[in-house]
Structure 1
Amino acid sequence: MSMVQEQIDVDVPLHTAYNQWTQFEEFPHFMEGVEQVTQLSERHNHWTTKVAGVTREFDTEIVDQLPDERIAWRTTGGEVRQMGVVTFHRLDAEHTTVRLAIDFEPEGVAEKAADAMGMVDRRVKGDLRRFKSFIEERGVEQGGWRGRITPG
């Protein structure tokens, strides 16, 4: 498994950043290579990605979600093996730090080479920069789910 950890400060209140992140179907607007996310239930999403011309589909399960603090997930099916957590940290009334940590299993020679060259780290960093632009340009979230999902 490989680990990527990145963070970014966004110029919106904590609840705004968190609420927007719960809108999984909006991820293609700021995540490179994400073609579509379909929310199947409060816990489950289906993803379609296309990276370097290769399309992959997989499912994720949210295993822990605490409003304004964290969302943790893992893959449950398909061609991708990963788990991760995004956390939200209040800096002040109008600023939030978003931290993203992902453990993933690169598949095949190309993915292993991309991981070794730091391409995955750069992609995640770019996704966070695009999230920052996405939410700051709007200034408000496009919705939000404030439910609690507990581990186990």
Structure 2
Amino acid sequence: MSTLEEHVDIDVPVDVAWESLHRVESYPRFLEGVREARTEGANRAHLDVEAGGRAQAFDTQITDRADTHTMEWKTTSGPDLAGSFSLLPIDQQHTRVQARIEYDPSVVREAFGGPKGFAQATAIERLVRNDLEQFKGVVEQGR
């Protein structure tokens, strides 16, 4: 199992970032490859994704730890992926968003194609970094 951690600092209070993170329908605006996203009942989301020329649909289970501003998620269908988003207040107007993704490289390659080994890890890092930057832009513009 591989683990990736990335973060970005955004210019909004932690509560604004927390609310934005929970707007599942806005995920296509900042998550590359997500074509549609919707909530499906309490603590569940469905995502339609296109990656590596392949269309995939998967469901996720979401667990909130609101007291620490942490959202944990794991897929319940599709490729076996899990992770978390932790929001850490820097001060009253700034928040650090930390993403942690756990994945099996062979599962990712089988599900989405792409490179192997170090090249795959680099591609995933770049993707997560870009998604966090996109999230930053969406949240800061929506203020």
TM over 0.5: yes
Query: Structure 1 residues 15, 56: closer, same or farther in 2, change over 3 A?
Result: same
1:113 is paired with a residue of what secondary structure? coil
Check whether the contact 1:70–1:87 (CA below 8 A) recurs between aligned residues. yes
Query: What's the counterpart of residue 127 of structure 2?
Result: 123
Identity %: 27
1:137 partnered with 2:141 = yes
- Structure 2 equivalent of residue 62 of structure 1: 62
Q: Displacement, 1:41?
A: 1.1
* TM-score normalised according to structure 2 size: 0.88
User: Closer, same or farther in 2 for the Cα pair 1:109/1:69, shift >3 Å?
Assistant: closer
Partner of 1:82: 81
CA deviation string 1:44-68 (max 9, x = no partner): 1111100121111111001343256
Q: Which among 102, 107, 110 is matched to residue 109 of structure 2?
A: 107
Using the alignment, how far apart are the partners of 2:35 and 2:24 within structure 1?
Answer: 12
Partner of 1:49: 49
State the distance in 1 between where 2:14 and 2:74 align. Answer: 24
Report if the CA contact (8 A) 1:33-1:49 is conserved.
yes
Matched residue pairs, number? 138
Q: Is the 8 A contact 1:11 1:95 kept in 2?
A: yes
The answer to which structure, 1 or 2, has the higher relative contact order (CA under 8 A, 6+ apart) is: 1
Q: Deviations over 1:40-94 (max 9, x none)?
A: 01211111100121111111001343256110011111x2111111000001110
The Cα shift of 1:4 comes to: 1.5
> What one-letter code is carried by the residue in structure 1 that aligns with 2:141?
E
Structure 1 length-normalised TM? 0.84
RMSD of Structure 2 on Structure 1 (CA): 1.8
More deviation, 112-121/7-16: 112-121
Contact 1:14–1:68 (CA under 8 A) maintained in structure 2: no
Residues 22, 68 of structure 1: alpha-carbon distance in 2 compared, 3 angstrom cutoff: farther
Structure 2 gaps, min length 5? none
Q: Give, in angstroms, the shift of residue 128 of structure 1.
A: 0.3
Cα distance, 1:31–1:109 mapped onto 2, change above 3 Å: closer
Q: Secondary structure at the match of 1:41?
A: coil
Say which structure is richer in helix: 2
